Amino acid sequence: MTKNLFVKIMQVCALLFLVAFIIVRVWFEYDEAASKDRPKRTYEYFLNREIQRHEHPPTQQQLIDDREEDKDLTYEESLDRNIAKMNVMMGRYRSNCTLSFTVNGATISEIIPKPVDTVRVVIEVNDPDAADVISRVELFEDGNVVQTKEPNSPHVYLEMIRKPQAGKHFYFAKVTQKNGNELWSKHVWVTVK
């Protein structure tokens, strides 16, 4: 009798698990389809929105609209939104300074699919204001500073070759201007042979 009861309980649990799995699967398929119906929101989109909110305090209705709009974000979009919020909150944005960051030709937020022997990082910073001097450029590998340059110029082009240990690594850059403003790139992931 106890064995039959145990079997029945296991069958009910398996059935409940299957139903839950189907519901979750359908939900994610619906979520993906819904996000494909609208244009992808980029870091620049969220940065511009946060700058507007920072410079002109939003009304209650704008805050409600933002919350509604952000309900269907993809994972990548939510990361972009959070980085933009942090950069605006910390004053780490500059509308006229540009930062270009590539790793083996891949741009920010990319994963390089094929393993590589060496890592080639190119960092280019341009600020049209001659007084906005770039005092430091830092290259991060797996969250640690691995190279630092102090160019003291409003225009910087750096090319760095890295030969890290075999395995998966991620890179990003931090640029600091003489006046204390900072720019951060997003990550690029790479696997080294």
How large is the average pLDDT for residues 178-185? 81
* 83 within a domain of the structure (yes/no): yes
Q: Which domain holds residue 178?
A: 98-192
- Least confident range of 28-32, 56-60, 175-179: 28-32
| Model confidence, pTM | 0.55
Helix 60-69 crosses helix 43-55 at what angle (to 10 degrees)? 170
Q: Which carries the bigger pLDDT value, residue 41 or residue 166? A: 166
CA dihedral 61, 67, 68, 71 (to 10 degrees): 180
* 63 within a domain of the structure (yes/no): yes
Q: Of 80, 122, 127, give the one whose Cα is nearest residue 101.
A: 122
Same domain, 35 and 104: no
Q: For 88, phi and psi rounded to 5 degrees?
A: -70, -45
Same domain, 105 and 182: yes
DSSP, collapsed to helix, strand or coil, labels residue 114 as coil
Of 46, 69, 89, the position where a domain reaches its end is: 89
Cβ(123)–Cβ(173) below 8 Å: yes
How large is the average pLDDT for residues 131-145? 90
Same domain, 82 and 103: no
Domain count, the chain: 2
* 16 within a domain of the structure (yes/no): yes
**Residue 65 clears pLDDT 90, i.e. is over it:** no
Residue 88: the pLDDT is: 65
Of 39, 60, 89, the position where a domain reaches its end is: 89
Q: List the end-to-end C-alpha distance of the chain, in Å, as a whole number.
A: 59
- Least confident range of 5-14, 29-38, 103-112, 134-143: 29-38
* 3 within a domain of the structure (yes/no): no
Of 35, 66, 89, the position where a domain reaches its end is: 89
DSSP, collapsed to helix, strand or coil, labels residue 103 as strand
* 115 within a domain of the structure (yes/no): yes
Contacts of 103 (CB under 8 A, 6+ apart): 112, 119, 120, 121, 171, 188, 190
Residue 161: the pLDDT is: 94
Same domain, 48 and 103: no
